[in-house]
Structure 1
Amino acid sequence: MYKYLLCWRYLRTRYIALASIISVMLGVATMIVVNSVMAGFADKMRDRLHGVLADIVVESNSINDGFDRYEDVMARLEEVAGGDIVAMAATMETPGILRYRVGSVHNERPVQIHGVRPLERAKTGDFAEFLFDEKGNRVPPSFDVPEKYRENSPAGAQLKEMEGDEDDELSRAVRETLRQHALEQVPEHGAIIGYALATYHPGNGQPDIFMARQGSKVSLAFPKAGTKPEAGLDEFTVVGYFKSGMSEYDSTHVYVPLERLQYLRLLSGGPDDKGKVNQIQLKVRPGVNLDALAERLQLSLEKIHPMYFHVWTWEQKQGPLLGAVAIEQSILNILLFMIIAVAGFGILAIFSMIVVEKTRDIGVMKALGASTAGIRGIFLGYGLLLGAVGSGVGMVGGLLFVRYINEIEKVLSRILQHKVFDDTIYYFDKIPTLVDPHTVIAIVVGALSIAVLASIWPAQRAAKLHPVKALRFE
């Protein structure tokens, strides 16, 4: 019983130990907060990356020209997968340049153009979940251009004004001319462009400013297929916005009708020709091992056309990005754990000082019958108590910080006069967090272990003191 009483007494009276408690507390709280925020960002990023990409992507080596008879390739994939494939979508992807007019200025952006059939593409991922209009409402996956866009165009407005005019030869000619102008002002083919391409994001809680509004005309330039480099150009009407929340995609992706892109890039031979594509995106049944299925599909396609197709899972496709996040999180954990290690050295120094200071008391206790294990237990218990108090308070403080992190961010932003969380990179309305109980337990157990390990050497030193030697000079 005396061991516990002494541990409690030292905890209440030795205020120098407060420094060790604070070090452990800060280390535990910081690690919990950082891990929760990084896990939240990683989870959001993985979820949105997976939504943008299908479970498995089949690509050809020839990105420019692609491959024809893709329906035969799809049939082969479905045969090998044995019912594991839920949906497939053929895609043509090519780099290009987007151009649109804002007042008297032309904006030009490098983009990645995706020729898709929107309903098919929506079945292979979360494509439909990322489509919005200017008001933030969901729009269906479609490239259809509503007639109201042409009615609201300058030529369309003039046509509307002429509805009550006489139907003579001159009026008919004017109406036909206006209809042609309306078609030029609002092209018949629609396009869904990245949200960041169409808007200016001022941040600081201010609403986004639309530069390419729905119904406006945009131009796309892209390379045509073939050995001779030649540029293709076409105009589209903005019918919606792709908003995944990932700046990398929202600032580069443009979706257009697959058949139109094939025709413009000279990849379609006629009405009966399905044209060429350079990607097939696959949605797989839940629970299927994607890596194993991708390997099977790769081996099967090698028999059709050796060294021509690449089969990727969505994680392999984004491997460098996901790997960089994992490495960054690991390095941060190592650096932050050093804070707790510093607290451990503090405990070691404090306990060594206590052993020297309390040499006489230790000798008296051993002379009165205290065992070597008992003396050792006093210091080990004291170290455990310091670690428990520090890690316990740090755990509660860290979890509370995570719970109210967005409120704290707003207060800090007002104090520092600038945004702490830059929402111009990620279109998140708040800082994402994810608390993993196993990580919290590992952090607390690690802190306790360091506190106990730092107590072992002073405890062993005190336990080895001989009562006669300890009292010799008293």
Structure 2
Amino acid sequence: MPYETLIGLRYTRSRKRAQGRNRFISFISLVSMLGIALGVAALITVLSVMNGFQEELRTRILGVASHAQITGVSGQLPHWQQAAEVAQRNEHVIATAPFVQAQSMLSFDQNVRGALIRGILPTEEEKVADFARSMKFGSLDDLVPGSFNIILGQELAQALRVGVGDKVTLIAPQGLVTPAAVLPRVKQFTVSGIFEAGMFEFDSGLALIHMRDAQVMFRTGDDVTGVRLKLDDLFNAPRVIRQLAVEYGPDTLLNDWTRTHANFFRAVALEKKMMAIILFLIVAVAAFNIVSTLVMAVQEKYADIAILRTLGASPGSIMSIFILQGAIIGLVGLLAGVIGGIALASNLDVVIPALESVLGTTLWNKEIYYINEMPSKVLSSDVITITTVSFVLTLVATLYPSWRASRVNPAEALRYE
């Protein structure tokens, strides 16, 4: 083992007989290690939550929404079968499904709630959405034309205080004009199912009925609101929409999930970047604590450095000793932070409920964060980036004290020894 490594390791270890200043230096070294460990663990945990939140949000949104959709400029799309056929000619389009959609009111007993009513064809809808795994009661097959059955989101059903088999009143905005006044169109629907998509926006404000019943209620005739598309690659949606746009007329609108839900994903991406910068500053502060540790160590080892120089040690060797000492402090803290961060990020489903139980408060409100549990996804690329940047910061922090040590003049240092 090179003597630089041997001496660097010896300086790093806390000796049992260390007193006074040596103990204080060891304490600062420990604080630096803990600071780096906490900063790295916080970075890994926060970025993992951001990754999980982004993926979970996208999965839940696209489990109910669609990768892309074709709608009419006027709000209605005539000859939707032809529009669907044009879309299906594109190699990236897997499935299509027509829908009729409108805002309405639902009431039961004394409870009234606004809801987005979506008329669907159950067999086609299952090809573009993932309602099957979200159904808590009933199924999409219960929606048959003329039955006037309705499937409600879990939160919407709770707000109305209804269950399967109850009859809710749907009040459509398209009214009936009479000599006396404009009367709203009212129809009773039977609750045949309840779904829980896991996203509060849909669970609290979406209801499904058969497309033919929706056409009757909203008086659209044979027209629909639009056609929903499922693609082979959801990230390819913008390019597919541009390809399809040239095949439709000016009275047709084409949109994809990156536009309809852009604010969600931009907000998450921006928050992830800002949190990464803030937490890297914490790691930087902890890393630069090593500067004070090494400066004090150099001051303490002045005589030892001078003796090594008189024995033939070069300035570069002296510098290597203290760089190694700082690097070991950083590596120990970094290793502890990576292990702790991965362990914490991988077990948030246990940690968060435990903290809520101890603190007696709610840390994760699904009405605020749109989804009902805290997601987490540890990406190896994030861990590698955090580890690399943190270690570089640690090495940079060791340069100045090590350079100071290499500039020690043996004659000056030993004058009063």
The 1-side partners of 2:35 and 2:70 are apart by 52
1:245 equivalent to 2:198? Answer yes
Of residues 170, 182, 198 in structure 2, which corresponds to 1:220?
170
Q: Deviations over 1:154-200 (max 9, x none)?
A: xxxxxxxxxxxxxxxxxxxxxxxxxxxxxxxxx94101111110126
Of residues 165, 170, 195 in structure 1, which corresponds to 2:154?
195
Identity among equivalent positions (%) equals: 29
Shift in Å at residue 374 of structure 1?
0.8
Of residues 211, 222, 240 in structure 1, which corresponds to 2:161?
211
How do residues 63-462 of structure 1 correspond to structure 2 at under 5 angstroms?
63=75, 66-79=76-89, 81=90, 83-101=91-109, 106-133=110-137, 139-144=139-144, 188-199=147-158, 211-224=161-174, 231-268=184-221, 275-286=222-233, 289-301=236-248, 304=249, 306=250, 308-422=251-365, 431-462=374-405
The 2-side partners of 1:53 and 1:264 are apart by 22
Partner of 1:15: 27
The 2-side partners of 1:225 and 1:472 are apart by 102
Q: Deviations over 1:323-347 (max 9, x none)?
A: 1111111111111111111112211
Conservation of the 8 A alpha-carbon contact between 1:144 and 1:239: no
The 2-side partners of 1:424 and 1:34 are apart by 20
The 2-side partners of 1:337 and 1:93 are apart by 46
- Between the two proteins, the alignment pairs up a number of residues equal to 402
Q: Partner amino acid for 1:23?
A: G
Q: Deviations over 1:298-349 (max 9, x none)?
A: 2222xx2x2x333222233211111111111111111111111111221112
Conservation of the 8 A alpha-carbon contact between 1:84 and 1:288: no
Change beyond 3 A, Cα 1:141–1:330: farther
The 1-side partners of 2:342 and 2:86 are apart by 51
- Tell me the secondary structure at the aligned position of residue 224 of structure 1: strand
Q: Partner amino acid for 1:12?
A: R
Q: Partner amino acid for 1:216?
A: D
Partner of 1:176: none
Conservation of the 8 A alpha-carbon contact between 2:326 and 2:395: yes
Of residues 73, 78, 96 in structure 2, which corresponds to 1:61?
73
Q: Deviations over 1:382-423 (max 9, x none)?
A: 121111100111111222223433333333223212333345
Q: Partner amino acid for 1:85?
A: V
- Tell me the secondary structure at the aligned position of residue 219 of structure 2: coil
Shift in Å at residue 427 of structure 1?
9.0
Shift in Å at residue 364 of structure 1?
2.1
Conservation of the 8 A alpha-carbon contact between 2:144 and 2:210: no
Partner of 1:150: none
- Tell me the secondary structure at the aligned position of residue 112 of structure 1: strand
The 1-side partners of 2:94 and 2:142 are apart by 21
- Tell me the secondary structure at the aligned position of residue 277 of structure 1: coil
Q: Deviations over 1:78-116 (max 9, x none)?
A: 34x1x4322211111111111112xxxx11112111111
Shift in Å at residue 218 of structure 1?
0.9
After TM superposition, the structure 1 stretch with the greater mean CA deviation from structure 2, 233-242 or 54-63, is 54-63
Shift in Å at residue 466 of structure 1?
3.3
The 2-side partners of 1:257 and 1:280 are apart by 15
The 2-side partners of 1:442 and 1:240 are apart by 47
Conservation of the 8 A alpha-carbon contact between 2:198 and 2:372: no
Partner of 2:43: 31
Change beyond 3 A, Cα 1:35–1:455: same
Conservation of the 8 A alpha-carbon contact between 2:196 and 2:203: yes
Conservation of the 8 A alpha-carbon contact between 2:298 and 2:405: yes
Give unpaired runs (5+ residues) of structure 2: 15-25
Conservation of the 8 A alpha-carbon contact between 2:71 and 2:77: no
Instruction: Return the TM-score normalized by structure 1.
Output: 0.78
Give unpaired runs (5+ residues) of structure 1: 146-186, 201-209, 269-274
Conservation of the 8 A alpha-carbon contact between 1:41 and 1:432: yes
The 2-side partners of 1:297 and 1:354 are apart by 68
The 1-side partners of 2:277 and 2:212 are apart by 52
Conservation of the 8 A alpha-carbon contact between 1:50 and 1:125: yes
The 2-side partners of 1:262 and 1:449 are apart by 64
The 2-side partners of 1:229 and 1:436 are apart by 58
The 2-side partners of 1:418 and 1:459 are apart by 49
The 1-side partners of 2:6 and 2:183 are apart by 87
Change beyond 3 A, Cα 1:363–1:197: same
Instruction: Return the TM-score normalized by structure 2.
Output: 0.88
Conservation of the 8 A alpha-carbon contact between 1:25 and 1:390: yes
Change beyond 3 A, Cα 1:100–1:90: same
The 1-side partners of 2:266 and 2:395 are apart by 34
